[in-house]
Amino acid sequence: VGMETFCNSIRDVTMRNCHIIRSCFASINVYCCHQALIENLLFEDITVQNDDYNPRFVFQQTEEEHFVDDLADDFVPNLAVCQVAYWDYDHSGKRGNVRNVVFRNISCLSSLRPAIVIGGYDSAHTVEGVRFENIIFNGKKAETLEQLKLQNLGFTKDVTLS
C-alpha cells in the first residue's frame, strides 16, 4: 500500500483472508514514499508461506548485468514493512505519515524467521499506532516485540503487541 502513489491520502483499507505464497521484499507492505497520509489499515487473517530458499530481489541496472543465484544465501523476505521512506524516483522531496495500522491473525510458515520493519522518515514524517495482534510463527504465537523480530528504525510511536 502506498509505494508508487502520488495521492494525498489512503484511508480505511482492509485486506482480509489472503494466502501469500511467495514474496520478494515484504509479504505485507505499507511503504509511504510520497506525501500521502496513509491511515486506518487492517491486515487480517493472512497466511504467509516462505520457501526454504528465497532469491534476493535484484533491480537490473544494465543489459549486461545478470542475476547470480546463491543457494547458500539465507535471505528471507520481511513478513511486514510499515515505513515512511525515501524513494529514488520521487523528486518532490515530500514525505507523508502512516497512522493506525493493525496486523491481526497473521500466520507465517517459514524455516527462516522473517523480520518486521517499521520506521518513520524524520520527526515530521512518522509511523504511529501500529498494532500486532495474534501473530503466529510456525504455530507459535509471538508474545513479545522481540519475538516478532521487530526492527524499529525510529520515528515511531505507539507500537504494540497483543
Burial label for 28, CB within 10 Å (0-12, 13-18, 19+), is: buried
Please report the pLDDT score of residue 130 as a whole number. Answer: 98
Q: What is d(CA 42, CA 14) in angstroms, rounded to the nearest whole number?
A: 5
pTM above 0.85, yes or no: yes
pLDDT of residue 3: 67
Predicted pLDDT at 84: 94
pLDDT in tens, the chain (162 residues): 876 677 899 999 999 999 999 888 899 999 888 889 999 999 999 999 998 888 887 778 899 988 888 888 888 999 999 999 887 777 777 899 999 999 999 999 999 999 999 999 999 999 999 999 999 999 999 999 999 999 999 999 999 999
CA distance 130 to 63: 41
